[in-house]
Structure 1
Amino acid sequence: MDELNLIQKICVYAIPVLFAITMHEAAHAYAAMRFGDRTAAELGRLSLNPIRHIDWVGTILLPMVCLALGGFLFGWAKPVPVDFRRLRHPLRDMVWVAGAGPASNLAMAIGWVLMLKLAMANPDSYFSLPLAYMAQAGVGINVSLMVLNLLPIPPLDGGRIAVGLLPRSLAQPLAGIEPYGMFILIGLMATGLLTALMQPLIAITFKLLMLFL
């Protein structure tokens, strides 16, 4: 997409970004409700309305800066509140609630791959090129969000999954770093280690998704 200017990139990425963060957070809210915690539903977060999930810095400003600088697309939405004490089986159900977000990104990535396949099958259509650009953006955003969120660093989803699956002797120290998790993530990003860690995982995921083409 190097041939696109900044305004064109924003137009291409806007819908995939909104879908990615909205479905991710709504999936958390739905899973929490299914396992006994209605906190998010009661606060109106069980919704496909992007406005309810947008963080104006993490969802709008930071991704635009990343696009302008041509770097790694990074951002976040408002986390869905989950009261793990209200889950029927807190430790076990936490794994399913945390995994619902990345699972939704995987499903959307597959959906965007199929949209790309549709665009490639109709190259003479007026909408094929815009659709292809948007589909590529959708695949990239959802794969990046999925891989990022599966890193075993609390409060990322992968950290919550690890806490739910590891023995107590390992889970408790890992859970203890949650207040510092975002600082660790920012440090990894600033040093370039985050990109180095994620790129191989993203590349493997892309290769698997291309099997749908």
Structure 2
Amino acid sequence: MFDSISIPTILVSYVALLFSLSVHEASHATAAYWLEDDTAARLGRMTLNPLAHMDLLGTFVFPLLGMATGFPFIGWAKPVPVDPRNLTRRFTQRGGMAIVSAAGPASNVALAALFLGVLVVLVKVAAPPQALEMKLFAYALFARKVESLHALELGSALTLGLALTGRLVLINLGLALFNLLPLGPLDGSGILRGMLPWRWLPKYDRAQPWMGGALIVLALTGLLGYVIGPVFGVILMGVEAIARLFLGA
């Protein structure tokens, strides 16, 4: 199981995950602060310092175990505390909570778009023949091991940049999609709750523990991949189409 462990790949992927989780959680805290609840800010959560957001299991054990074994991993950080009573009255309380919930996935989508642009620029900097630009882009985005990029002989700095940027694109897209699931403690649940009619809320709230349980079952059995895998595949097709547009391939 551990025969094919790649330390460089684990390090690059883990750095990308820590950064992405930190931005995600800091975005929740910042959105709450903009909506006049400073609870998270006072507790030091409105920061990109990963130490402020780390959860032993979600940010350390499970991600590293998944990266080492090759199994799909789920990374998460400590939830950002928000006091709905402090939120601005410009929105309904649950509307404000929906905005705070949406800030996390939105930040991951923004990061994915940013680093997709950086990745396209790095491919241009590598200056392969135009016919091979998409091949290099795919290598950077989908290479299972960082070492496979070394074979292209692009230099250590450029190879590291391509590998890290590719991981940042994939991880942020994955985090955004995962967190938008309307299950249990995920952000999608808070977003959906803010849009439901009032008369549906009691039943929805009573179902939340069951939804959280369903999420755990899906994750532990590997069925979660079958739930989000097809959607993720469509998203990646869109990413490749955008890359082709800018690379002229």
Tell me the TM-score normalized by structure 2: 0.79
The answer as to whether partners of 2:122 and 2:161 remain within 8 angstroms in 1 is yes
Aligned partner (choices 210, 221, 239) of residue 191 of structure 1: 221
Cα displacement (A) at 1:37: 1.2
User: Equivalents in 2 of 1:99, 1:209: separation in Å?
Assistant: 22
- Pick from 196, 200, 211 the counterpart of residue 230 of structure 2: 200
Aligned partner (choices 109, 113, 116) of residue 110 of structure 1: 113
Match of 1:170 in 2: 200
Moved more, 110-119 or 159-168: 110-119
Quick check: 2:10–2:68 contact (8 Å CA) kept in 1? no
Aligned counterpart for 2:96 among listed residues 93, 97, 117: 93
**Superposition pairs for residues 115-194 of structure 1, below 5 Å?**
115-123=118-126, 124=154, 126-194=156-224
Question: Which range moved further: 127-136 or 43-52?
Answer: 127-136
Matches within 5 A, 1:36-75: 36-75=36-75
CA distance in 2, matches of 1:77, 1:186: 16
Query: TM-score of the superposition, structure 1-length normalised?
Result: 0.91
Within a 5 Å distance, the mapping from 1:3-82 to structure 2 comes to 5-82=5-82
- The structure-2 alpha-carbon separation of the partners of 1:73 and 1:191, relative to structure 1 and needing over 3 Å to count, comes to closer
Is the Cα contact below 8 Å between 2:101 and 2:191 reproduced in 1? yes
Identity of aligned residues (%): 36
Instruction: State the 4+ residue runs in structure 1 displaced beyond 6 angstroms.
Output: none
- CA RMSD in angstroms, aligned pairs only: 1.7
Moved more, 202-211 or 86-95: 202-211
Structure 1 residue 176, shift from structure 2 partner? 2.3
CA offset at residue 211 of structure 1? Answer: 4.1
Secondary structure class of the residue paired with 1:177: helix
For the 8 Å contact 1:163–1:172, the answer to whether it is kept is no
Q: Distance in 2 between matches of 1:176 and 1:156?
A: 16
Contact 1:164–1:171 (CA<8 Å) still a contact in 2?
A: no
Task: Give unmatched runs, 5+ long, in structure 2.
Answer: 127-153, 244-249
Retained in 2: the 8 A contact 1:95–1:161?
yes
